[in-house]
């Protein structure tokens, strides 16, 4: 399995809702079991464009766009990533499909 990339939005609305705390919590949980981030790399992303659905987190190449993420969702997200748990479906499908598609196109780009 290839390395997954988990991006936490740090745009204005997401930051105002605490995306920095979510980033640190997810990174801490991932590194506790995957210290070198070989299975999952946790990164910040400038803005996904789904501001009204803050806090947004994406998982690539899974193409999961999680919205309304809170600290209580972090264990389920980490379980999915590290223990082959199920995607957190209640967090999916909140942004417009074209917003998601733009994000996937950018992440798929070789540039």
Residue 49, pLDDT > 70, answer: yes
pLDDT at 32: 97
Distance in angstroms (rounded) separating the CA atoms of residues 20 and 8: 8
**Percent of the chain at pLDDT exceeding 70:** 98
Q: Which domain holds residue 39?
A: 4-108
Residue 75, pLDDT > 90, answer: yes
Average pLDDT over residues 34-63: 96
Q: What is the pLDDT of residues 81-91, one digit of tens each?
A: 999 889 999 99
> Count of domains in the chain?
1
Beta strands across the sheet bearing 4-9: 40-45, 4-9, 57-60, 64-66
Q: What is the pLDDT of residues 11-25, one digit of tens each?
A: 999 999 999 999 999
Task: Read off the pTM.
Answer: 0.94
Helical H segments across 1-111, by residue range: 12-16, 19-33, 74-83, 97-108
Average pLDDT over residues 74-103: 95
Categorize the per-residue pLDDT at 109 as very low, low, confident or very high, splitting at 50, 70 and 90. Answer: confident
Domain CATH for 66: 3.40.30.10
pLDDT at 110: 78
């Amino acid at each position: 399995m290839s390395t997954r990339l988990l991006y936490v939005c740090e745009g204005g609305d997401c930051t105002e809702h605490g995306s920095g705390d979510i980033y640190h919590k997810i990174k801490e949980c991932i590194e506790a079991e995957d210290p070198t981030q070989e299975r999952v790399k946790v990164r910040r992303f400038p803005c996904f464009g789904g501001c009204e659905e803050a806090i947004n987190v994406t998982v690539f190449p899974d193409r999961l766009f999680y919205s309304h993420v809170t600290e209580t969702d972090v264990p389920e997200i980490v379980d999915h990533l590290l223990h082959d748990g199920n995607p957190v479906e209640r967090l999916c499908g909140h942004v417009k499909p074209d917003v998601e598609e733009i994000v996937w196109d950018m992440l798929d780009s070789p540039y």
